[in-house]
Amino acid sequence: MNNKIHMYENILIRPFKRESDDIEELTRLLNRAYKELDDMGFKYHATYQNSDVTRQRIDGAYCLVGIHNDKIIATITYYKPGIKSGSEWYEKEDVGVVGQFGVLPGYRSIGLGAYMMDMVEAAAHSEGTAEIALDTAEGTQHLRSYYGRRGYRFIGYVDWEMTNYESVIMSKNLNGLSLKTDS
């Protein structure tokens, strides 16, 4: 993955710098970004994870952050094929995985999340990844619809130990796509 810096509106998007960025701030962002889902009764890992878990979850992955006024306001993590496990689909040699995707409520509906997804999809595609997958709670129809509009299709179910719901795995074929952002 590359280390290019991008701008979206007045928001800086760049890789998380493990040496200098604040893992506590990234964790607080994830906890806050997933609070709405927690309030709906879905105990996503990101709703309650601590900084040690955040560090483990980005280790070996490509973690992007959106920065506005020197604060992390959005994030997305991409795992190259072969990194994620726990699902037969995730363990395929040509399937990358997106996780820990969150945008603070005040920055939603401006296209920032879509732009960050475009960046991750383009980066995965440029590396030759055939599919990019993710999972979300079966009961979050709004998220399933959002990913469906982005071209993700239903693959199957997985029941993660650390959540209180069954997840649906969705995946998007990246072969032959004309992606919106340069990688």
pLDDT at 162: 86
Q: Is the pLDDT of residue 122 over 90?
A: yes
Q: Token pair 């699902």 is at which residue?
A: 87
Where do the structural domains in the chain lie, given as residue ranges?
A: 6-129
Please give the mean pLDDT across all residues of the chain.
92
User: Is the distance from CB of 74 to CB of 108 less than 8 angstroms?
Assistant: no
Region of residue 44 (phi > 0: left; psi between -120 and 50: alpha; otherwise: beta): beta
**Tens digit of each residue's pLDDT (9 = 90 or more) over 131-168:** 999 999 999 999 999 999 999 999 999 998 889 899 99
Q: Token digits for 87?
A: 């699902």
If you average pLDDT over residues 5-33, what whole number do you get? 94
CATH number of 6-129: 3.40.630.30
Residues with Cβ within 8 Å of 134's Cβ and at least 6 positions away in sequence, in order, are 97, 98, 99, 101, 147, 152, 169, 170, 171
If you average pLDDT over residues 105-128, what whole number do you get? 95
Helices (H) and strands (E) in the chain, counts: 6, 8
- In whole angstroms, how far apart are CA 64 and each of 6, 16, 145, 167? 10, 5, 23, 24
Half-sphere exposure of 178 (CA within 13 A, CB side): 0
Percent of the chain residues topping a pLDDT of 90: 85
